[in-house]
A and B are shown apart, each in its own frame.
Chain A
Amino acid sequence: MEREEHYRHERLDRGIKVRTEGIYAVSSWVEMSYLLVPRLFLILGLLALPLLMPTAYWQRVISIVCIYALLAVGFDLLAHFVGLVSLGGGFFVGVGGYLAAIMNVYLGVPLALTVPIATLAGGIICTLLLLPCLPLRGVYFAIATLMYPLIFTRLIEALDIFGGTDGIVGVSSWPNPWIERYLIIVIVILALFAIRRLVNEDFGLLMRGVKDNDQAVKASGISITSVKAVAVFITSLMGCFGGAYLVHIYMWSGLSQFALDFSIIPIAATVIGGGGTLVGPVLGTFILVPLSEILREFGTLRIVFYCVILVIFIVFKSEGIMVYAERKYHQFQQWVKV
């Protein structure tokens, strides 16, 4: 009887990788460009996007995509580095948006101040409000965060404060369309690289420790809650900035800023793009959000559409696009006989 021949994939790292992820030994321009090209492609690509878009409508879409990208990076940071699954992305956007609108319309603060103040104050408020929930784990934290935006929506509705269901109108718009288009892109790039740096520092190690074995971190005399609080603060900073920015684009702040869209799209983008890579979620939003703009005429059917994509990815390709692409980029792969 003839024996069947078995093959397996052999995977080899490229020679420039040293010891661990993120440390490289480069000795030539080819090797340096090997590392630089993807990063430059990302930065220059993002910066060139508004110039490449044909109409003002699509330039606006790019800005919206960037808001979702900030939320998605935040979700990724919380879910895959600290282990907190937050279903309430809309909460951050809503708090930031309403703060900016209240300051701008009721108190007459100019735009140059509302955005930074709303970002910072919103970050602090969100963190303080979520602080009691931080010791919770897994499904308990997810449920709590799912409820926060709902509570705020219903409270604003029931108490009829901040314009009630009509929202706050008359928020001032961005003075210059180019500032509007480029500010958010620069923020996305900065946030992306800053967080990437952060998770590779000691503090990143601590965050991963909290995710993988919080008891061990606690036993080392480190407060888990403060680590989680810092991560939540970073996430809510990004979310609140997105909210404040959005309010000034639409010149209106309403209950839809607490809506489900801001919670589900970042999650879907993270799953599709690849959790734990930080770049993946950005890629995911750049696939999902324009797609949903194209499908706008189908109304709520697009939510169905990306929920289905989400489920398919979670079941069949849970690693996501970016993890797959990184593996292909960093490793040689060949068939060898067993």
Chain B
Amino acid sequence: MEILVYGVVNSLTLALMALGFTLVYGISRLPNFAHGALYIIAGFAVWVGLNTLGLNYVISALLALVIMGLIGAAMYQSVLIRVRGMATSEIIASYAIGLAILEFLRWLGFKGMTYTLPTFKEGFVLILGVPVDMQRIFIIIIGALVFILLWAFTHYTKIGLALRGMAQDERAAMMLGIDSDRMAIVAMALGSILAGLAAFVLLPLGNIAVEAGYNVLILAIAVCIVGGLGSWVGALLASFLIGFLQILTWVYIASHFQIVVALLAIVVTLIFKPSGIFGRQKEFEERV
């Protein structure tokens, strides 16, 4: 029972982490290696809002999300737009930006256990006889909510439909009058906001530390690769697969093998089926 409940929680955690990454890649084919850095920046922003500015929790969270959107848009507009389509430069540029942000935060002292966010609400509830604390309940609720809202957004709003159009075929979308650069900015901003949201929900369980940023990047990549880069449904299913695998290793082997599971999942998937378990077959794009 514990495995089931914590597996679901862990899976949704992974899904939240990976959502921003898979969204940006799915829409603009841009591997955003700065994803982990954006996640930590969001945590940092919420922390500043709470402790330095003395704002309400909800207000500082909303403020942080707005800032995340702006940072994402600025990152795309100032740097990534210039290297778009050049795979090597895209990877190096976004990786360098992420590294710069993370190492800058490390220099400011965001490591170890110094900085934490408070949990939303203390206490726990029993689910199927297993005690689960309130923060994890919030993760489940917010995770589900985000997926439903995102689904509605991409199916029923004009911008959402344009984003989906671009994800399916960029040239055809451009012919129909969708400005691909503007949509890519929107996608990047949305991806950053989702990274921020994940940070805001998940960070109260841990510390705002630079190492967490690197781990989030690895886990996000793991989920996206296993699920198939750019496939949203695949990412959700893959996060359940990896989530349960991690909990199983945690229970039956040892807790510090969890990240090894994610890393091995990436490499094994890449070797045997690079388009991912649930990805669409596009063999020629990724391997020869």
How many angstroms between the C-alpha atoms of A308 and B229 in the bound complex?
28
- Whether A311 lies near B267 (C-beta < 8 A) is no
In chain B, what residue has the closest Cβ to A85?
Answer: B88
- Whether B104 lies near A136 (C-beta < 8 A) is no
Given the known inter-chain contacts A151-B260, A218-B288, please indicate yes or no for A308 contacting B79, CB distance below 8 A: no
- Whether B288 lies near A144 (C-beta < 8 A) is no
- Whether B288 lies near A135 (C-beta < 8 A) is yes
Extra contacts besides A144-B267, A214-B288, A307-B100 (9): CB < 8 Å:
A79-B88, A135-B288, A137-B285, A138-B87, A140-B287, A144-B270, A147-B221, A218-B288, A308-B96
Q: Which A residues lie within 8 Å of B106 (CB)? A: 300
- Whether B99 lies near A264 (C-beta < 8 A) is yes
How many angstroms between the C-alpha atoms of A124 and B256 in the bound complex?
30
- Whether B91 lies near A315 (C-beta < 8 A) is no
Q: Which A residues lie within 8 Å of B139 (CB)? A: none
- CB of B235, distance to nearest CB on chain A (Å): 15
- Whether A158 lies near B96 (C-beta < 8 A) is no
Partner of A311, one of B88, B100, B221, B264: B100
- Whether A154 lies near B93 (C-beta < 8 A) is no
How many angstroms between the C-alpha atoms of A144 and B287 in the bound complex?
13
- Whether B107 lies near A310 (C-beta < 8 A) is no
In chain B, what residue has the closest Cβ to A318?
Answer: B89
- Whether A132 lies near B271 (C-beta < 8 A) is yes
- CB of B2, distance to nearest CB on chain A (Å): 23
How many angstroms between the C-alpha atoms of A144 and B256 in the bound complex?
21
Given the known inter-chain contacts A154-B260, A303-B100, A311-B79, please indicate yes or no for A143 contacting B221, CB distance below 8 A: yes
Given the known inter-chain contacts A143-B270, A218-B288, please indicate yes or no for A315 contacting B79, CB distance below 8 A: yes
B92 within 8 A of A: yes
How many angstroms between the C-alpha atoms of A79 and B86 in the bound complex?
12
How many angstroms between the C-alpha atoms of A154 and B267 in the bound complex?
14
B173 within 8 A of A: no
B68 within 8 A of A: no
A301 within 8 A of B: yes
How many angstroms between the C-alpha atoms of A255 and B254 in the bound complex?
21
- Whether A147 lies near B266 (C-beta < 8 A) is yes
B225 within 8 A of A: yes
Contact string against B for A residues 124-136, beta-carbon threshold 8 Å, 1 for contact and 0 otherwise: 0000000011011
Binding site for B on A (CB under 8 A): 79, 85, 87, 132-133, 135-140, 142-144, 147-148, 150-151, 154-155, 157-158, 214-215, 218, 224-225, 260, 264, 267-268, 271, 298-301, 303-304, 307-308, 310-311, 314-315, 318
- Whether A215 lies near B288 (C-beta < 8 A) is yes
Contact string against A for B residues 246-261, beta-carbon threshold 8 Å, 1 for contact and 0 otherwise: 0000000010110110
Partner of B274, one of A136, A158, A214, A300: A136
- Whether A303 lies near B99 (C-beta < 8 A) is yes
Given the known inter-chain contacts A150-B263, A311-B97, please indicate yes or no for A136 contacting B286, CB distance below 8 A: yes
How many angstroms between the C-alpha atoms of A79 and B99 in the bound complex?
20
Q: Which A residues lie within 8 Å of B266 (CB)? A: 143-144, 147
How many angstroms between the C-alpha atoms of A155 and B263 in the bound complex?
10
Pairs A-B, 8 closest by C-beta atoms: A307-B100, A303-B103, A132-B271, A307-B96, A135-B287, A138-B87, A300-B103, A151-B263
- Whether A133 lies near B103 (C-beta < 8 A) is no
Main secondary structure of the interface of A (DSSP, over half): helix
How many angstroms between the C-alpha atoms of A139 and B88 in the bound complex?
8
How many angstroms between the C-alpha atoms of A138 and B229 in the bound complex?
13
Q: Which B residues lie within 8 Å of A137 (CB)? A: 285-288
Q: Which B residues lie within 8 Å of A142 (CB)? A: 31, 91
Partner of A264, one of B87, B89, B90, B96: B96
Partner of B104, one of A214, A304, A310: A304
How many angstroms between the C-alpha atoms of A26 and B259 in the bound complex?
60
How many angstroms between the C-alpha atoms of A150 and B285 in the bound complex?
26
- Whether A158 lies near B260 (C-beta < 8 A) is yes
- Whether A311 lies near B93 (C-beta < 8 A) is yes
In chain B, what residue has the closest Cβ to A310?
Answer: B96
Q: Which A residues lie within 8 Å of B271 (CB)? A: 132-133, 144
- Whether A314 lies near B89 (C-beta < 8 A) is yes
B218 within 8 A of A: yes
How many angstroms between the C-alpha atoms of A304 and B97 in the bound complex?
8
- Whether B107 lies near A304 (C-beta < 8 A) is yes
Contact string against A for B residues 54-67, beta-carbon threshold 8 Å, 1 for contact and 0 otherwise: 00000000000000
- Whether B270 lies near A315 (C-beta < 8 A) is no
- Whether A301 lies near B91 (C-beta < 8 A) is no
- CB of B22, distance to nearest CB on chain A (Å): 13
B115 within 8 A of A: no
- Whether A301 lies near B104 (C-beta < 8 A) is yes
Which of A137, A147, A308 neighbours the largest number of chain B CB atoms within 10 Å of its CB? A147
- Whether B87 lies near A85 (C-beta < 8 A) is yes
8 Å CB interface, B274-288 against A: 274, 285-288
- CB of A160, distance to nearest CB on chain B (Å): 10
Partner of A151, one of B225, B267, B274: B267
- CB of B15, distance to nearest CB on chain A (Å): 19
